[in-house]
Amino acid sequence: MARGKHSLHSYNGTYDDYEDEDKAKRNTITIIVVALVIIAIVVFAIICFKNFKNQEKETVNNVGEETTTLKETMISTYQGYDVLGKIIIDEFEIEQYILDSREDKALECGVIKLYGGSLNNYGNFCIAGHNKAGVFEKLEEMETGSNFKIVEPNLTETEYKITEIYSVEADDLKCLMQDDEKIEITLITCENASTTRLIVKAEEIKK
């Protein structure tokens, strides 16, 4: 009996050791699996973060390219009319597209080419606009020697200096006369309840 008890006790001790060893292995495996899962999550998070940054950078670059493209071109039509260029009078914060039309409706949209050849070329390019805010309302406040810019569709800018300012009767068209030896701009607007016209003549500033 003593021998049997001794044998049973020896067997139980061996089983307990095996169970402890098996439990330790399982714990080790569990720790390794958990560590691998954490590493995988961290790696995945890093990859996602890098992809997000790359997409963000690409978006910023695309926006920059679009902005550059917008800056490098001028619209070809405005309110249904072809755009020949733009007049900018910084002194009075005037910036208007020059429309290729003589229609009264076009005058309601901005300023128009009334007469002349091509923009910023030899001859007298005549621009007409209403005497109203944002257009040619403050034209009468300009002085000889003042400057303004004419911008072509390709964004080439030409500076003009005012040489004459005077008024004429509504039916006086001498201001439209051409001089092929000058690059000239004539600005025209109505005054005195449209009974007279204010004429502003300017010549290209040669650089």
Q: What pLDDT was estimated at residue 21?
A: 65
Longest dimension (CA), the chain: 142
pLDDT of residue 18: 53
2 and 82 within one domain: no
Let me know whether 101 and 48 are in one domain. no
Q: Which residues pair with 96 in a beta bridge?
A: 87
Co-location of 68 and 114 in the same domain? no
Q: Are residues 47 and 81 in the same domain?
A: no
Q: So what's the pLDDT on residue 206?
A: 86
**Residues comprising the chain, all counted:** 207
Domain tally, the chain: 2
Q: Do 161 and 180 share a domain, yes or no?
A: yes
Q: Residue 22: what pLDDT?
A: 66
**Domain match, 20 and 40 both:** yes
And the tokens for 155? 């964004």
Tell whether 96 and 45 lie within a shared domain: no
pLDDT of residue 67: 39
- Same domain membership, residue 38 and residue 9: yes
Name the residue range of residue 8's domain.
Answer: 1-72
CB neighbours of 138 closer than 8 A, spacing ≥ 6?
92, 94
Q: So what's the pLDDT on residue 41?
A: 83
pLDDT score of 29 = 81
- Give the integer Cα–Cα distance in Å for 32 and 189: 86
Distance between CA atoms of residues 25 and 71, nearest Å: 68
Task: Check which CATH number belongs to the domain holding 186 and give it.
Answer: 2.40.260.10
Averaged pLDDT in 10-residue chunks for the chain of 207 residues: 44 54 73 82 78 61 44 85 96 95 93 95 97 93 96 95 96 95 96 95 92
